[in-house]
Structure 1
Amino acid sequence: MEDKSILTRAVRKYENGVFFDEVDEVAAEFPLTLRLNGEEWATMVCTPSNLEEMVVGFLASEGIIRRYKEITSLSIDREKGFAYIEIDKLPEDRAKNTSKRFIGSCCGKSRQFYFTNDMLTAKTITAKTELTALQAIHHMQELQNHSEEFQRTGGMHNAAICSSTGLIQCYQDIGRHNALDKLYGYCLMNHIPVKDKVIAFSGRISSEVLLKISKMGIGILLSKSAPTNLALELADDLGITAIGFIRGNRMNVYTHPERITEAVLHPSETI
């Protein structure tokens, strides 16, 4: 199957009192079933791009692997919608704690959270990484500049991993959790150290998103959207700096503000 994140569809539009026919672009939605050591383990609904990175990141976030080299084989059959994963030393306790389930592309109740695996794999972050307010705003602008799929369809979430100086890699997906898993997989597959890195993110900061950031081991999360109270409680407990509503030259630093060396912009500063 050809890897297409964006598909076209005929649509009848209405504008200024007139109907007309046009071809519109829509985000592709693709079900991928993971078979782990021969057993069906989970089905993910995602954007059909960077599937290997997503699978690797998801396995790591669920505590099945800690390093990419623990996977002895990984193949994806796009025609049938299956990912086949073999792991020599499968941690049975963690595999059993992850029930076979359908993982939807929508946000919130379609995902199960607060499994035993979350407790086993969430990390308290002690990184001393610092960022200025200007750098945080610049990272969010870079994320938006790399959001071509969202701009074309309006149906994608975007996530990027950044250094203090700029964006390193960016992924898009219809599921915000999938976009983060792709980043996690990319870091594991390419041996990217994350202790001094930052995540820029387009979606709401939910408890699920916060837990994924913790499992990745990253101390600063930037978002243009709002957080939930539970996410902020977790951020406080896990040592993560959560910043939301980064829009224009504004932002809200909700937790661990000590990592942001310029909490506010001075009138003389420009982007």
Structure 2
Amino acid sequence: MSRLRPEITHASRPLTFMVPAVNEHGETLETEIAGEGPLTLYLDKREIVTLMTLGAAPEALAIGYLRNQRLLPDIESIASVQVDWETEAVAVTTRHGIKNIEKRLSKRTVTTGCGQGTVFGDLMEEIDHIKLPPDAELTEETLQALLENVRHYDSLYKKAGALHGCALAKGPEILYYVEDVGRHNAVDAIAGMMWLDGIDGHDKIFYTTGRLTSEMVIKAAQMGVPFLVSRSGLTRMGWEIAQKVGITMLGRAQGRHFLLFTGAERFRHAEIETTA
């Protein structure tokens, strides 16, 4: 049976801009910087939130945000996603409306992060019902191959800086790579892409350049991804929630170095060669 897909615009905008800057020698250089702008999200004509974003994948960002906030049950419930940069707005229209929307919006928690994240409703209670695949496995060889692929990825960060990157991978293969001014935006955009493409997270790895906070762990778990990898560190609440949902979380992953914090039962270390 074919899946209902929403009608969407494809309204990406320029991601970088050239501005003059003076270096340590007093020379004026044209320098590439990251774009950033507000995008106000409307759900059935109701204003939900204003996101500060690079604007690379605004439709996927809107869909993923609503998915990760548990404001929408599935991709089939969305009729259309329309982005208009002149009004700096994205309008999401559902097919049959959203039940109990007032109750869902009444409880809002501002979380840590670049461009404060938000969590609606009782997501902390809902994580008790998240079940991640216990038989998924990540080998050290696969992890190192993925980190090498990420290192060679042609990212905007190398050109302009001031960005966070997130990737969804199957084994060492990068399926999606999204950069934005905040890591929350990048993870939401990937969540939206997964819904649009019908991608399941049970055998995937989620990689981020940003720190692993409680919200990042919750979002990865909601997407059904059992492995969460960061080149940065983590927070205490992120660690506690990762233990609670049973996610395998690795931090400080750069080069050959990594630290395995939770979910060690899914991780397979490389065999260490010994000499007699």
Same fold (TM over 0.5): yes
Find the partner of 1:220 among 217, 224, 227. Answer: 227
Give CA deviations for 1:121-173 in whole Å, capped at 9, x if unaligned: 67242342111112112212222322520111111111111112421111111
CA distance in 1, matches of 2:184, 2:94: 23
CA distance in 1, matches of 2:169, 2:120: 28
Alignment of 1:188 with 2:198, yes or no, is: no
Offset, 1:179: 0.5
1:160 equivalent in structure 2: 167
**Does the residue aligned with 1:98 lie in a helix, a strand or coil?**
helix
2:5 equivalent in structure 1: none
Amino acid at match of 1:34: L
**Does the residue aligned with 1:92 lie in a helix, a strand or coil?**
coil
Amino acid at match of 2:178: Y
**Does the residue aligned with 2:138 lie in a helix, a strand or coil?**
coil
CA distance in 2, matches of 1:44, 1:112: 10
CA distance in 1, matches of 2:126, 2:148: 35
Alignment of 1:210 with 2:217, yes or no, is: yes
Kept in 1: contact 2:115–2:182 (CA 8 A): no
CA distance in 2, matches of 1:70, 1:81: 24
Amino acid at match of 1:123: I
RMSD: 2.5
Alignment of 1:116 with 2:126, yes or no, is: no
Aligned length: 263
Kept in 1: contact 2:39–2:90 (CA 8 A): yes
1:128 equivalent in structure 2: 135
Cα pair distance change 1:206/1:40, threshold 3 Å: same
Kept in 2: contact 1:204–1:226 (CA 8 A): yes
CA distance in 2, matches of 1:96, 1:34: 18
**Structure 1 stretches lacking a partner, 5+ long:** none
Offset, 1:103: 8.4
Q: Find runs of 4+ consecutive structure 1 residues off by over 4 angstroms.
A: 99-104
CA distance in 1, matches of 2:87, 2:120: 31
Cα pair distance change 1:144/1:118, threshold 3 Å: farther
Alignment of 1:51 with 2:61, yes or no, is: no
Pairing of 1:57-72 with structure 2 (within 5 A):
57-72=64-79
Kept in 2: contact 1:127–1:196 (CA 8 A): no
Percent identity, aligned pairs only? 22
**Structure 2 stretches lacking a partner, 5+ long:** 1-10
Cα pair distance change 1:117/1:93, threshold 3 Å: farther
User: Structure 1 length normalisation: TM-score?
Assistant: 0.88
Kept in 1: contact 2:108–2:119 (CA 8 A): no
Offset, 1:107: 1.8
